[in-house]
Each structure stands twice: as structure tokens, then as C-alpha cells.
Amino acid sequence: MMNIKKNRRDVHGVLLLDKPQGMTSNDALLKVKRLFNAKKAGHTGALDPLATGMLPICFGEATKFSQYLLDSDKRYRVIAKLGERTDTSDADGQIISTRSVNITQSQIDEALTHFRGDILQVPTMFSALKYQGKPLYEYARQGIVIEREARPITIYDNQFIQYDSTKHELTLEIHCSKGTYIRTIIDDLGELLGCGAHVIYLRRLQVSNYPIDNMITLDELQNEPLLMPVDSPLQDRPKVVLSESQGKDILLGRTVIVENSVSVETLVRIYQGQQFIGAGTQILNKLSPKRLISTT
């Protein structure tokens, strides 16, 4: 075991894994880490086993910036089965109620207006949120219900795609802020429609501004490893290029004076020439280091 660890490689960058259905995010992470024989790796926001799609995995120095992906917006395609409610709000759970479905397009359109903009959402008991050091889903599996506070989230877009009235299946595309539980949206939507609903299909299409075309499956990964650059978690942040002497000062933890000025504190990408060296915060013309990478 010691020899295996010693032989692991220094790998740096971000992999956009297309997570397969039926696999946990941690299992997917471990498999990818083994394929790369990487020393250090971590994922940026778990997907349920039922879900597929974009799971950014950060390697090496890129792990220092994983929080920015955890905090970023997400986009999902979801199919809801109307008429059945489950204890987990998805197809992996047990059906707890069955009701007839008699809804019109106008009722769907009106109901969706309640799930757009800034709303409060009560997290599902089948979530990884911690209570007294244990995830909520562990309590849920024991039949214990913990009181949860509603949390503010933002639904930037909740787009109707189609409704199959024969199968009672409603397809939506949802662009949302961090901390949004799509299962809870579907469960709440089903209750608002008066028929109940649960998720039968969930695919994460996008994290931050990463393009869907850059995702790679586990099968493809074994033939053609593909990593996004270490600075990609910060791709939507302003870029500041420093001279060699300024870069040395930043890497020593010092604040430097830059030419441009900003009126509010801003998170920026820092480069020494063409080399990315980390993230910093700038206010007026003062730039201070926040997260730096090893340049040796």
C-alpha cells in the first residue's frame, strides 16, 4: 500500500465527468482518481445515484478553487412522474401516495411561476445536510424526522419542455443557485398541482460556465484523459496580470499595487506573466492574495 501511494502522480486540473446513473459521486471520484493515479482529487458537489451529468473533479492545485464551483449556479434537465409521491422524492424511494392526475397546461404554467426567482426551500430529509454531525439521510432511514429551516435559493429559470399526458411525465429545465434540491422542487410542485410527483430522471447539464460538450464519460476517460486548466473554476472572474516582481510579492503573501482600480472588493484571477498563480481580492488598486498555487 505504501508503494502504491508513493507512485501516485501529481495531476493538476479539472475533469468534467459525465457521471453515470446508479453510481455515487464518491465512487465516481475514486474510480477517476485511480484511472489518473492521482495523489489528490475531490469532486465539487455530489449528484444522487439516480442522477447523471456534469460532476467537476478537481485534481492537485485545482482543489484549492473547488469552493467556487460548489458555490456556482447549476442547470438541470428533470423529468417528473405526476400522480405518485415517494418518501425520497425520487424513483429510488418507496411510493407513499398515489393520486389521479387531471391537470391542464394552464395549471402547469401557473404552478411553475411559484418556482421562479428568489424562494424559500425546506431541504429534503434525504439530503447530506448535517445535524449533530450526521447527514439527514441517516436519520431519514431510521424513520426520524428532523425539523429543518427553510433556506433562500434562487431559480433563475424554470422552463417547461413538454408534458406527456399519457405517461403523466413532465419535463423541465431548471437553472438554479447553489443549495437547490431539484427533488424538493418536484415534490412541492406535485403538491401544488394536487396530484403528487417525484423525480424519475435527473441530469446536470452545466456547472458554472463549463460547456456541456467538454464532459467525458468513464468509458471515454480510459482512452483519452481530458482535463480543464487549473484556473477554470475562476473562468468568470476578472484577470489581473502581474510583473515578475509583483508576482513574487504576491506569492510571499504581500499586497501589491496594480494599475487598474475597482470600486468594490472583487475576486480575481492572478497571473505572473502567462502563468496562473492563484486567486486574490482587489479593492481600489490594492490586490491581496487569497488562494495561491505551488509554482515550484
Amino acid at 203: R
Give dist(CA 213, CA 138) in Å, integer: 36
d(CA 57, CA 233): 11
Report the alpha-carbon distance of residue 62 to residue 5 in Å, rounded.
Answer: 20
Q: Residue 285 carries which side chain, given as an amino acid letter?
A: N
Residues 37 and 200: their CA atoms lie apart, in Å, by 35
In the set 18, 27, 48, 71, the catalytic residue is 48
What is the Rg, in whole angstroms, of the alpha carbon atoms belonging to the chain? 22
Q: Measured between alpha carbons, how far is 46 from 160 in angstroms, rounded to an integer?
A: 25
Angle between helices 105-112 and 182-193 (to 10 degrees): 130
How buried is residue 43: exposed, middle or buried, by Cβ count under 10 Å (0-12/13-18/19+)?
Answer: buried
90 is catalytic: no
Catalytic residues, by residue number, are 48
